[in-house]
Amino acid sequence: MHDDRSLVEARLRRVLDERIRPAVYPESVPLDVAVWHAPGEPVPVAEGLAADPRPIEVGARWGAPWGTSWFRVTGTVPEAWAGRTVEALLDLGFDENMPGFQCEGLVYRPDGTPVKGLNPRNQWVRVGAPVAGGEEVRLHVEAASNPVVFGHHPFRPTPLGDKETAGSEPQYTLARMDLAVLDETVWELVLDLEVLGELMAELPVESPRRWEILRAVDKALDAVDLQDVNSTAARARSLLTGVLGAPAAPSAHRISAVGHAHIDSAWLWPLRETVRKVARTTASMTALLEAEPDFVFAMSQAQQWAWVKEHRPEVWARVKRAVADGRFVPAGGMWVESDTNMPGSEAMARQFVHGKRFFLDEFGIENDEAWLPDTFGFAAGLPQIIRAAGSTRLLTQKISWSRTNRFPHHTFLWEGIDGSRVFTHFPPVDTYNCAMHGSEIAHAARNFRDKGVARHSLAPTGWGDGGGGTTREMVAKAARLRDLEGSARVAWETPRAFFDRAEAEYPEPPVWVGELYLELHRATLTSQAKTKQGNRRGEHLLREAELWAATAAVRTGFAYPYEELDRIWKTVLLHQFHDILPGSSIAWVHREARATYERIAAELDGIVEGAQRALAGEGTTPLAFNAAPHPRSGVPAGGAATPADAGRGTAPTPRAGGGHVLDNGLLRVEIDGRGLVVSAYDVGAGRETVAPGRAANLLQLHADLPNRWDAWDVDEFYRNTVTDLTDAEAVTAGEDGASVRVVRAFGASRVTQVLTLPAGERRLVVDTEVDWHETEKFLKLAFPLDVHAERYASETQFGHFHRPTHTNTSWEAAKFEACNHRFVHVAEPGWGVALVNDSTYGHDVTRTVRTGGDRGTTTTVRVSLLRAPRFPDPETDQGVHRFRHALVPGADIGDAVREGWRINLPERHLTGAGEVAPLVTVDEDAVVVTAVKLADDGSGDVVVRFHEAHGGRARATLTPGFAVAGVTVTDLLERPLSDTPAPERDGERITVRLRPFELATLRLRRA
């Protein structure tokens, strides 16, 4: 037989595009359209419906950037259409290739009832099936003219990312606004041919099945009268029933399709627009659930559910009914799909506390899975947090984006720093926006790394990022793929049902230990510095507010601010979403975030001050309140006392050859005439910190234009060019007489540093102020250390994690930029150095062997201060920034932990009646208390959360400063753990025993 395969395949493409798809709607009449443009921010639905619109014609321009326009469409169903299916086709000017990234709409009936969302792949609204003819049609569309920020030329700087700079030029051209007859037979034929054509393209050319489909398609196309598609579509479909009815092989891969719309809580749109995106999507999905009995839809992010409840009660009522039916499924059990690298220990725990509690309170449903398809890598402390929240499973897709190494598993056990394991699945479909396209289904089956021992994978199906969700076309394709020869089998299932199947068939999956590092998007650890600083400050202020409010409530009857703390926690958690905290959102998002952080900081400061005033009482005794989990300056952890010496800095003396010396008897620091630290001598150890011939406190500037994903990425070639900023305008004694001040200028920017050596302490504090006006540059602060280390420790949630300093393998080389929380620690046996920070996350650690002299090893730690990408915010980080770091020579891991807390929680000073004892004390430095609070249920119980922080076994005595009637071990949600016995007690003293990095929560019932 002659090979006519290419001929038939080309025929299929053209006939589908030019003849069959246009015949889906064979008859149409125009609708009358009028529009009212809201003058500012979105208005309530009632106001939009009541507005007086003006006529607008198809072809007219509409929609200023970030505007809202209310369209009213009216018309009459022709009498001749009686008995047929009729739909309104409402095209606001969509580009079908950009669902979720441009204009969208929510359709309402005149009484305000929401119908469904409109987006580029979902432009229809059902009028009747069948119609009687003569019906009056009246619909209202709340249309958002969101501009295209991420367009056909991505990563180009644009002013459209903020309404303050976007201008008022109309963004869209009103397209089709018609009533039309839907020919359901032709629509079904389109889906038949699409599924078969897509499957055929994925089969081997030599496969008999491919040729069988080719011949059937060829005959079906012969049966279509191209001048009268509608009357011949049924005959064409009949010729495809054989190939569509052939069952899949028994060994075929199984795909659990889950309806999905991963909606970024903010990204290329502001938070307020996400509220509407969620409403549009949930309206569409509840309507689709009513029409498609097999369909199942899952939605994560309790915050987004809460938005629907608050802002769209009519849609919320439909959502609640669908949840009760078991087909609209709460997923993930987190407040938002957060970043997991940068949130602190308590914040990561509270993501699950607030997320799971919302779904429990609203629906009585407990999530067993964490659902994070798009998060940019996963910290090594996360498995323990997931388990402590009562969950056991994790789903993500993002690791497939790694650019260097291919992850070896799709289903596996992920083990965290404490030994906790969670059953984890990476969907081999490699997208969280699966559209049921044949190439996606075939890729999932081919790509699945666990063949032979497992055969199930999951496919999150629907348009996401900007929302939209699953379409009826996707559902129709899935129905054809349920049992089709040559394809994987597809069935709609809930996440729980998938995980149950996957665990049952794969009882002993492989284990991956440590962080799940994404080999991409490394610059998100640095972009938008003020957002990151706001998050860090908010986390520590919340710790203080809970600690002092709880102490004051127990001691003085102070009114514990339950509602205020709940609201502020949720605000901080929302801003940890994986495009806000990572700095990858538009300018509008980060402008609002900065204002939000300032507002909540002021509110939390007020709570702290009120509680401390209640504790201090009236008097003139100077008091220092220490919220850190370790004693310092004579002040116990979590307590208040008359302060010892406040720790004034050491006065500088002249240095031979220029510069200054700071010497407090413990540490001798030499700062040369360039303002660089050329020596940091640990007197007690007789040990130099700075590598020979090198200088620390060295600012380094790199060119930084990644190949793509500007705010997200830093590509390794940035290291190829570097400028050491060694020229100083001034190196002088500080005005306080107890520091050294260094001023530098470079490019259009200026840096002022103040170096302080506190009396009686072995740490050099470096305060850096940068007036930053560079673009596409990366600013680092380097500390070359005379330490021989093959690995180093960086803090993560509830512990720390080791990474290699070498690059033996491609996996190690790929980690050229990594995350830490409050500290990085580099050590050789018997001596180490900690570098602690108050607000930075990104860093790199490299090692070199010196070629001359002692041939020793130099380990260089560099903290990442600032970047200057131009997309999606062209003014990223322009302006003044302040950072604080401390270099701690002679530090062991315990010193690193303690100094990390110290720099983030400065003492607070006020006067009062006298000493205030801590509410809770722990007698072991390795046991770090991360939270002291009153129980969320309002019972008055005191909740204490703590963990082992040094990486070893710990036995400690926890002593409450109040009478205790009972002690219960709980999960993160403060529920008793039935399989965990209560700790030993001796009066009020409680003995706790912890494994390395083990996290524990105790609930103390007050007598």
**Bridge partners of residue 526, in order along the sequence:** none
Distance CA 563, CA 568 (A): 9
With CA atoms as reference, report the closest residue to 944 among 346, 321, 457. 346
Please give the single-letter amino acid code of residue 980: T
876: tokens are 């990223």
Of the candidates 405, 468, 607, the residue with the CA atom closest to the CA atom of residue 120? 468
Closest to 842 in 3D by CA, of 535, 539, 537, 582: 582
Rounded to whole angstroms, how far apart are CA atoms 769 and 767?
A: 7
- CA dist 659 and 653 (Å) reads 9
Q: How far apart are CA 887 and CA 696, in angstroms?
A: 10
Give φ, ψ of 916 to 5 degrees: -115, 125
Question: How far apart are the two ends of the chain, measured CA to CA in Å?
Answer: 91
Distance, CA of 510 to CA of 498 (rounded, Å): 18
Burial call 562-589: b when 16+ CB within 10 Å, e when fewer: eebbeebbbbbbbbbbbbbbbbbbbbbb
* Number of Cβ atoms within 10 Å of the Cβ of 861: 26
Q: Quick one: CA dihedral 922, 927, 933, 938, positive or negative?
A: negative
Tell which residue, 250, 151, 230, has the closest CA to residue 185. 230
In the chain, the amino acid numbered 369 is: E
Q: Can you point out the beta strands (E) in 907-975? A: 908-912, 920-922, 927-934, 942-948, 954-960, 964-970
The closest of 195, 73, 91 to 140, measured between CA atoms, is 73
Least Cα distance to 928 among 696, 631, 729 occurs for 631
Q: Which long-range contacts (CB under 8 A, 24 or more apart) does 991-994 make?
A: 991/955, 991/956, 991/957, 991/958, 992/927, 992/946, 992/954, 992/955, 992/956, 992/957, 992/958, 993/953, 993/954, 993/955, 994/927, 994/947, 994/948, 994/953, 994/954, 994/955, 994/956
Q: Give helix 302-311 / helix 313-324 axis angle, nearest 10°.
A: 130
Q: Please say if 374 is a catalytic residue.
A: yes
799 dihedral zone (left: phi>0; alpha: psi -120 to 50; beta)? left
Strand arrangement of the beta sheet that strand 799-804 belongs to: 730-733, 740-746, 749-756, 764-772, 879-889, 831-837, 823-828, 791-796, 799-804
- Whether the CB-CB separation of 858 and 786 falls below 8 Å is answered with yes
List Cα–Cα distances, 982 to 275, 928, 972, 993, in angstroms.
44, 19, 16, 11
Residue of 192, 374, 710, 844 with catalytic role = 374
Residue 766 tokens read as 């470096």
Q: Concatenated DSSP letters for 187-247?
A: HHHHHHHHHHHHHHHHS-TT-HHHHHHHHHHHHHHHHS-TT-HHHHHHHHHHTTHHHHHPP
Query: What are residue 334's phi and psi, to 5 degrees?
Result: -125, 155
Question: How is the beta sheet containing 842-849 ordered, strand by strand?
Answer: 723-725, 698-703, 777-785, 857-867, 842-849, 818-819
Measured CA to CA, the distance from residue 1001 to residue 1007 in angstroms comes to 19
76 Cβ neighbours under 8 A, 6+ residues apart: 134, 135, 136, 137
How many CA atoms within 13 Å lie on the side-chain side of 967? 24
Find all residues with CB under 8 Å of 323, minimum gap 6, and list them.
329, 330, 363, 365
Q: Are the beta carbons of 668 and 681 closer than 8 angstroms? A: yes
Catalytic residue positions?
A: 374
